[in-house]
Amino acid sequence: MNLRRTRAVARKELLHIVRDARSLTMALAVPLLMLLLFGYALTLDVDRIPTLIYDEDQTPESRTLQARLQGSRYFEILGNVDNYKSIELAIDRGHCLLAVVIPRHYARKILAGSVADVQVLVDGSDSNTAAVSLGYAEALLQAHSMEIRVLAYNRRASGTLRLPVEGRLRVWYNSEIKSKNYIVPGMIAVILMIIAALLTSLTIAREWEMGTMEQLLSTPLRPAELVLGKLAAFFGIGLIDTAVSIGVGVFLFEVPLRGSLWLLAFTSCIFLFGAMCWGILLSALTRSQLQAYQMGMLTSFLPAFMLSGFIYAIENMPVVIQIVTYIFPTRYFVTVLKGIFLKGVGLEILWGEIAFLIAFAALVFLLSTQKLKQKLA
């Protein structure tokens, strides 16, 4: 390998990038816009659930339950209604997600020590949100029921009732349970995969369409030198995108970075190199920029978004799909990012994922050089 020839190719690509101001702006601006858009708009938090209350009892005890609902951050009380028709209309129009119906004689049953029913109506159109909302409502009602039972016992007996089991919860790694702490690290991996693959997927195809590949064929340039030279210029842009994405995640979205910054930089460079080599391979497989772009989107965006564990838990997918996810590098990089950002773990935990990223980068680099060798032959 001749370093001089590699530098010449890198300089040629760098000049092309600098002269194409629109492409350069897009390459630098799109990752930032995607991170801001997904970071602010995409959330898995279910709180401030629009709620209506239908109180048929109208007693101090029923108003106590209403106050309990209003004091919870998970429910946003829109108001009170006096019939089921209003609840049905609000749910149909999408104004209300949940309704709590306190039936007649609720207070009488409570004071008598018997079981008092409370009806919860949930809009099940969005099954995940409905299940979480129902869980919040059931937990609140159970806690309220237990308080009433303890208070009634203490009034009847001379002693004080103590619960046999007291649960003390401790959340590790994301103590505030904020979805952005889970989403932003995964989004960095998705953005880098898309940008890296798309940046380099057009390079070789562009040479064929512009007619400059014939000039390269007449030079003593080797496939490895061509690949590394073209990667060098785009790799710099990828590093800038990586630094911007990490900076936005840490300083703007306040995602904790508990692990090693050096390990994060090292794994990001490996992932970028592999993703860019994948783009080169796609570009070498076709002589059309349009086909290269389409293949780049199909093989980078969809797997990175759907099959990496970025949003959807891989453990909940069918077994066949779980097996398929093992071939995509984004799955491993998402695991690395979440481990470094949230858990603060190091190489002793993440060595398997990092080893796969290195193997993937090496394999795709060899495949791209072999394919270019066939093209140049």
Q: What single string gives the DSSP state of each residue in 66-84? A: HHHHHH-TTEEEEEEESSH
Q: What residue type is assigned to position 106 of the chain?
A: Y
* Closest to 231 measured CA to CA, from 188, 189, 295, 281: 281
What is the total count of domains within the chain? 2
- 73 and 24, same domain (yes or no): no
Specify whether 224 is located in the same domain as 349.
yes
Specify whether the CB–CB gap between 106 and 116 falls below 8 A.
yes
- Could you read off the pLDDT of 41-89 as tens digits, one per residue? 777 777 889 999 999 988 888 898 899 999 888 899 999 998 999 999 9
**Under a CB-based contact definition with an 8 Å cutoff, are residues 376 and 289 in contact?**
no
Among 103, 121, 156, the domain boundary falls at 156
Q: Per residue in 8-20, pLDDT tens?
A: 877 877 887 777 7
Output the average pLDDT for the chain: 84
Looking at 106, 126, 156, the residue that finishes a domain is: 156
Here the CATH number for the domain that contains residue 102 is: 3.40.1710.10
Instruction: In whole angstroms, give the CA distance from residue 236 to residue 199.
Output: 11
Q: What is the pLDDT of residue 162?
A: 66
Query: Is residue 145 predicted with pLDDT exceeding 70?
Result: yes
Amino acid at 364: V
Are 134 and 207 in a shared domain? no
**CA-based nearest residue to 376, from 200, 212, 214:** 214
In this prediction, residues 207-218 reach a mean pLDDT of 69
In terms of domains, do 203 and 339 share one? yes
| The pLDDT value given to residue 333 | 94
Beta bridge partners, 305, equal: none
| Shared domain check, 267 and 131 | no
- Judge if 58 and 145 occupy the same domain: yes
- Among residues 25, 86, 27, 22, the alpha carbon closest in space to that of 54 is found at 86
Where residue 357 falls among pLDDT bands split at 50, 70, 90?
very high
For residue 62, the enclosing domain spans: 49-156
* Residue 114: per-residue pLDDT: 79
18 and 152 inside one domain? no
Residue 170 lies in a domain: no
Which of 106, 124, 156 delimits the end of a domain?
A: 156
Distance CA 131, CA 129 (A): 5
Q: Are residues 110 and 257 in the same domain?
A: no
The predicted structure's pLDDT at residue 366: 92
Please compute the mean of the pLDDT values over residues 189-211 and round it to a whole number: 78
Say yes or no: 38 and 60 in one domain.
no
**Is 325 among the domain residues?**
yes
307 three-state secondary structure: coil
pLDDT band, very low/low/confident/very high, at 213 (cuts 50, 70, 90)? low
In our burial notation (b when 16+ CB lie closer than 10 A, e otherwise), range 160-187 reads: eeeeeeeeeeeeeebeeebebbbbbbbb
pLDDT, tens digit (0-9, with 9 covering 90-100), for 222-255 = 878 888 888 888 888 889 889 999 999 899 888 8
Average pLDDT over residues 262-274: 93
- How buried is 203 (Cβ within 10 angstroms: 0-12 exposed, 13-18 middle, 19+ buried)? buried
* 188 within domain boundaries: yes
pLDDT (average), residues 356-362: 94
Q: Percent of the chain at pLDDT above 90?
A: 25
Query: Is 172 among the domain residues?
Result: no
> What pTM does this model have?
0.81
Contact 332, 359 (CB under 8 A): no
- Both 35 and 80 in one domain: the answer is no
Same domain, 311 and 198: yes
Nearest to 136 by CA among 203, 56, 45, 223: 45
Q: Is residue 321 part of a domain?
A: yes
Each residue's pLDDT tens digit, 101-130: 999 888 888 877 778 889 999 998 888 888
Q: Is residue 161 part of a domain?
A: no
In degrees, to the nearest 5, what angle opens at C-alpha 130 toward C-alphas 174 and 99?
115
Rama region for 173: left / alpha / beta (φ>0; ψ in -120 to 50; rest): left
Judged by DSSP in three states, 55 sits in strand
Starting from the edge strand earliest in sequence, which strands make up the sheet with 119-122, in order?
Answer: 75-81, 49-55, 98-102, 119-122
Instruction: Tell whether 165 is covered by a domain.
Output: no
In a domain, 162, yes or no: no
Residues 129 and 56 in one domain: yes
